[in-house]
Amino acid sequence: MEFPVEKLINTARAARERAYAPYSGFRVGAALLTVEGRLYSGCNIENASYGLTVCAERVALFKAVSNGERNFAALAVISGRTEFCTPCGACRQVLVEFAPEMDVYMCNDRGEYKRQTAAGLLPLSFYLPPAAGGDNPPGGKKPPTRLTEPVDR
């Protein structure tokens, strides 16, 4: 399926207008495209207790996951600044959980972007094998093959 990246970026830009950022003034929007072609948007939502603030990327992803989505193709994130808007470390870990191969478009205020996969943004991300009888990993994917090394080198 073809999907214009401009549409993804424009959706993120529109979501940015709904940001709740009274403390930092740093307004961010995100748009998430599922493999099936559905779009979910998110904006950052700050809180007077700063640590409770949630980023736009996680809002979009959590909206999608809570709606039953598990397969993601791309995410765009945009702020109103000239610098490219890159996901924070916490968001990178959350993105890798569901879609390590997903393309992440990190945009500036002009809609220009840098692209990288979610896994590429977080090498050596934290990994925990799913528990027996627990939820299946996203997309029914098997855990990646990992090489083992001898303890003594």
Q: Catalytic positions, please?
A: 57
Q: What is the dihedral of CA 108, 110, 114, 116, to 10 degrees?
A: 70
Cβ burial of 133 (10 Å; 0-12, 13-18, 19+) is: exposed
Q: Tokens at residue 132, please?
A: 């027996």
Residue 63 CB, nearest distance to Zn ion (Å)? 15
Residues 24-83 that bind Zn ion (CB under 5 A): 55
Which CB atom, from 7 or from 88, has the smaller least distance to Zn ion? 88
Q: How far apart (Å, rounded) are the C-alpha atoms in residues 148 and 87?
A: 30
43 is annotated as contributing to ligand binding = no
Taking the least distance from each CB to Zn ion, the nearer of 10 and 53 is 53
**Interface mask toward Zn ion for 79-108; x: CB under 5 A:** ---------x--x-----------------
Least separation in angstroms between residue 57's CB and Zn ion is: 6
DSSP letters, 48-102, are: SSGGG-B-HHHHHHHHHHHTT---EEEEEEEESSSS-----HHHHHHHHHH-TT-
User: Rounded to whole angstroms, how far apart are CA atoms 61 and 64?
Assistant: 5
For residue 86, what are its two tokens? 């890159």
Q: Which residue has the tokens 């999608």?
A: 64
Residue 47 marked in a binding site: yes
Select the residue whose beta carbon is closest to Zn ion and give its number. Answer: 55
CB of 134 to Zn ion, least distance (A): 26
Asked if residue 108 belongs to a known ligand binding site, the reply is no
Nearer to Zn ion, 33 or 106 (CB): 106
Binding positions for Zn ion, rule: CB under 5 A: 55, 88, 91
Which residues belong to the annotated binding site for Zn(2+)? 55, 88, 91
Which residues belong to the annotated binding site for substrate? 44-50
Which residues belong to the annotated binding site? 44-50, 55, 88, 91
